[in-house]
Structure formats: C-alpha cells, structure tokens
Chains A and B, each alone.
Chain A
Amino acid sequence: MAAEGSVLGLAFAKPWASAVLCTYLLCVLVLGWLAARRGRGDVSDFVAGERAFGPVVMYFVVGATMFSAYALLGTPQRVVEKGSDVFYILAYGSVGLVPLFFVGARVRRLGARHGFVTQAELVAARFDSRAVALLMAIGTLAAFWPYLVIQLQAAAMVVSWATGWTSPVWGAGLVAAVVCTYVVQGGVRGVGWTNVVQGVGMLVVVWVIGLYLPQRLYGGVGPMFDRVAAEKAAWLVLPEVGETGPGGTSPWSYSSQVLVSALGFSVWPHVFMKCFTAKSARLVQWSVMTYPSFLFFLLPLIFLGYVATLEGGPATDQVLFWLAELPGLEGASTWIGAFLAFAVLAASMSTLDALLHASGAVLVRDLWVGGLGRKLDPSRQPAMMRVAIVVTAALAFMGVASGIELSLVDLLLLGYDFIVQFVPVIFIGLFWRGANRVGAVAGLSVGLLGVLVLQLVGIALPVRPGVLALLPNLAVFVLASRVGQADPEPVLARFFDGPPDAPKNSERSA
C-alpha cells in the first residue's frame, strides 16, 4: 500500500484514500449548502421538499436510501459466510416496494390534501388518535437508533481504515458532523441532492471494481463461478430441507428472511415518507417501477463476495477491504481501496441522512405535537426539527463511542421486527372503513410490546420475533375493529370520500 503521508501535522495511513474521502465530504457539504438556498424553508419544504421532487432525484432518494452501508459491507460478508443465502436481499427487494405502487398514489393525495408529512400523521389522522401517533413514533425511534448506529459504525470503520486513526470516535464524529450540516441546512432537498451524487458514485465504483476483480484474477465472472462450482458448490445453492448449509442457512430461514423483509420494506418511515415528497402521485408509482433496477447494483457486490470466498477471505464486515489488499493487484490496490472506501462512506451517509431527517420530523411532528399533544407553531417546527436531528445524531454517535459490539445483521433485523408491526394499521387501516381506533391502538401496543418482550427474553426462535408478534397484533386489530364501533363518520370521510379518484381528464395516455 501507499506510504504514510502527513498533512498539517496529521498523519494519514493511506493518503490517496484519505484524499478521496476528503474531496467527497467537501462535495456533499457544498451540495447541501446549495440545496439550502432553494425553497421556502417552512415545514412542508423542510420535510417534504414542497412536494416537488422530480424523477431523477426520487430515483436516487429511494434507491440510495435503501442501500445502506449494510448492503456494501454485509453483502460480500454474507456470501463468504452463508453462500447463496445472500440472494434473499435480491428476492425481497424485487417485491418489497410493490405495496407502495398500490397505496403510494393515494398516500400522496391524502398528504397533499390534509397536509401530512409523516407516516404516523397519516395513520393517526385515519384513526383520529393521539395514542397511535405516540406508539408509531416510539416504534420508529426504537427501529431507527440501531440502524443509525450501524451506519455510523461503518463510516467510522472506513475513516479509520483510510487515515489510520485507530479510535472510531474521530471518524464517526466527522461523518456525523458532515451529515448533520447538510441535513440541517438543506432539509429533504439536501438529502435528495446529495443522494444523487452518492448513488451515482456508488453504482459506478461498485460495478467497475466488481467486474474488474473477477476479470483480473480468473479471467471473468463466468470462469470465477466455474471455480466456485468446482471448489465451493455448497455456496451456490441453498441446502436440501432438513440440512444446514454454510453459516447455518436453511430453506426455512431463507424464506422467513425474505418474507419479513418484503413485508417491512415499504413501511420503513423514512421510505414511506418519500410518498409525500414526490411531485405527483404518478411519480410515486414511477419510483416503485424503477426501483428494482437499483437491485442489479448488488450483483457486483455478490461477485466480490465470491472472490473473497475463493481466496479464503474473512467472514467479517472488513472483507471488502481485505479484497483491496489481495496480493497480485499491485498498483491497482491503492485505487480499489480508496474508491471502495468512498462507496461505503457514500452508502452509509445516504442512509444516515434520510434516517436523521426522518427522525427529526418524527420527534417533532409525531412524538411532541401529534403524540403528546403539545402546541408548536408550524413556523417554529423546522427549527425544532433541526435541533432534534442534531440530538439524534449525537445519540447515535454516543452508541458508536461507547464501543458496544453490535452485529450489523442482527441490528438491521431487529429494526425490521419493530417496523413490521406497522403493516396492519397502515395497509388495512387505509382501505377498511371498519378498522377502528381501539383496534389500532391495541394492535400496535401488542405488536411492539411483543417484539420487546421476545427480545428481552432472548430465547432462540425458529422465526423472527417480528413475525411472531405480528400475528397477535393483526388478530387484536381485526377483532377489536369487528366487535367495536366504526370510527366517527367525519373522520372516515376525510379518508374515503374525497374528490372522485379518477376524473375523466386524468385518462390521458401515458
């Protein structure tokens, strides 16, 4: 690797990688500053970008937000550990956003008509219930925190790798500060614009390196898979029923991962909220349609995982950087490392920004105003959200600084367990007039408490706690709604009896 360099008295273990990272961080700061100069700066602008995001920005907001540092670090790691079990990410991704195609247009419409900017606001208004807002805000924050810590941990790891600063505190602090700056300044527009740069950068880097390494080492992707088939065939398919494959994978565990993730995917609040951000209801559908193309971006990462499998790489989150230092790459090694570092940082930041931004809105709109019923003039809300964003970032930073050992996969799945509990109130609540407030509150409480209890008890379960808690959640929700009275007619009218859904003049040909 390149020799150590020093700038302004600071030593950098990998000067080129450090330079690439610094350039990138400066770029996003400038973009965030530019984004802040647009728009009115009120609540609708700060949270939903005046509901005016166009197709390109929407594409990258949805795509880059979903591709967290976990996708970059965890995908190759999972190939080494569990082989073809990793395809589950592609499998759930192919259907995960589809529910938003069915409901997204309606959600956007309701948002524009009634001024909703968060997921919980929509659901709480449907049931006219403060408790629903409170429960959803708590569930969201419980799911967000580990997710935020993962992203910061990954960012810290990359910065440590490039600079040689051993403590994760510096890297995590630096990245948290940069993300906070552009989110606080630019709001959702800052998130959107930087996500375009981060998304394009990730795609290019990962494809180039993902095709280059197999080519250089084995003469192509095909020959690489020939070798995997010959030497590590168990890494290409799931085991037979009743057997366990590499890393303990099985058809059942694979399938339950696909199901939980597919169910929960579209109700992550920071994703769902983007329905309010789109310029038109139609654009929400367009985003769902184009999203799967982003999934192909996982392919090169899967290729890299198989390279590591053949070369005996470690089944840890550091496996990408282990690849960069493979013998036989000589000069290319420096650049591969530098650009991989950039890609991981971009991935972590493009998720971090959306999560921080959403938690600002959730804390202020859902927890404080919606849930606890405190009065807060809308004109003061953006300022409070900025404070909430900084506080959330600080809490996540403390998670990293405290040095807790958390596995990326476990954390992410824990988040899904909480989030999946929103599925009944959102999808059934939006379409079934009979669903009532008591059912919603009871269902949510049972679901969220259930996940918490199952986590605390910590017994080994054959299925995810989220799935297990979802069943009583759904049962209580439906039962209470059937037994009890429907919600008052004026409340329902807001949701079900708006202006006609399909005026004739909207039947223009596409």
Chain B
Amino acid sequence: MASEAVKDAGSGRSGDASTRTRGRKAKWAALWFVGASAALIHPVYTLVGNRVAPRVLGLPFSLVWVLGWIAANTLVLAWMYRSRVIPAPEDEGGEIRGG
C-alpha cells in the first residue's frame, strides 16, 4: 500500500527537483517499513529476535527486539514528519510543537 502512496509524494505535478527528492525519500521510507515488518515476522524474527538472552533491563531479548523496532520506527516517522517527506499542505495553524 505504501508504494502507491509514494506515487502521491512523487507524482511531481511540476516535476521540480524538490518534489523528486521528496518522492525518493518517500520510497526509502516505504521500503524501511516493509523491512521493519519483515523483521518482526518469520523467518527474520525467529532467526534473530526470538531468544531469551541477551537480557536488557531484565526483559527477554524476544521482547526487546520488538520494542527496539517500535522505537526505530518512531524515529523514522519523526524524521519523515520533520523533513516533510509526504506533502501536507493546507496546514494553516496546524503546526505542532513539542506535544
């Protein structure tokens, strides 16, 4: 589904450089989330993440692995938000700061 969304970002009505860069970034971001989903299921999860040790803060690694991906995905989303990878015009008065 994300790949279609990428077209939105990259559909470049005017085809100028910034739109194209944005489209490229959106593609990488979409690819990241496909990879992140793969990391959370069989066979990647079962090969890498699915073990008790090493423990982190007392938690089993099988849980830490999943939590780590949540954190990483949040960072990528934050980057996408900050660098306006997906255009979101009409945001009059909607700029969010802090929380």
Between B50, B63, B90, the greatest number of chain A beta carbons within 10 A of the residue's beta carbon is seen for B90
State whether A292 touches B60 (Cβ < 8 A).
no
Q: Which residues of B contact A288 (CB under 8 A)?
A: 77
- Which residues from chain A contact B89 at a C-beta distance below 8 Å? 109, 281, 500-503, 506
The 8 A CB mask of A269-289 against B (1 = contact, 0 = none) is 000000000111111111011
Decide: B93 and A225 in contact? CB cutoff 8 A. Answer: no
Contact of B52 among A56, A221, A236, A281 (CB under 8 A): A236
Number of A-B contacts (CB under 8 A): 201
CA distance A165 to B99 in the complex (A): 43
Contacts of B82 in A (CB 8 A): 510
Q: Smallest distance from the beta carbon of A48 to chain B beta carbons, Å?
A: 15
Tell me, yes or no, whether A23 is within 8 Å of chain B by CB: no
| A283 CA to B37 CA, complexed, in Å | 24
- Cα–Cα distance between A88 and B99 once the two chains are bound (Å): 28
Smallest CB-CB separation from A284: which chain B residue? B88
Residue among A98, A106, A223, A299 making CB contact with B73, cutoff 8 Å:
A98
Distance in angstroms from B21 CB to nearest chain A CB is 12
Instruction: Check if A95 sits within 8 Å of B78, measured CB to CB.
Output: no
Known: A233-B52, A241-B46, A259-B41. A430 touches B4 (CB 8 A): yes
Partner of B46, one of A251, A259, A290, A296: A251
Residues of chain B within 8 A of A241, CB atoms compared:
42, 46
**Category for how many chain A residues contact B:** 35 or more
- Pair A293/B74 contact, Cβ less than 8 Å: yes
- Pairwise interchain contact B92-A280, C-beta atoms closer than 8 A: yes
CB proximity of A380 to chain B, nearest CB, Å: 29
Q: Does A56 lie within 8 Å of B99, measured CB to CB?
A: yes
CA–CA, A252 and B45, complex, Å: 11
A319 to chain B, nearest CB (A): 19
- Partner of A103 from the list B8, B62, B78, B93 (CB cut-off 8 Å) is B8
Decide: B80 and A101 in contact? CB cutoff 8 A.
yes
Q: What 10 A-B pairs have minimum CB-CB distances, sorted nearest first?
A: A280-B94, A222-B58, A102-B5, A431-B4, A427-B1, A105-B88, A255-B41, A281-B88, A251-B42, A282-B91
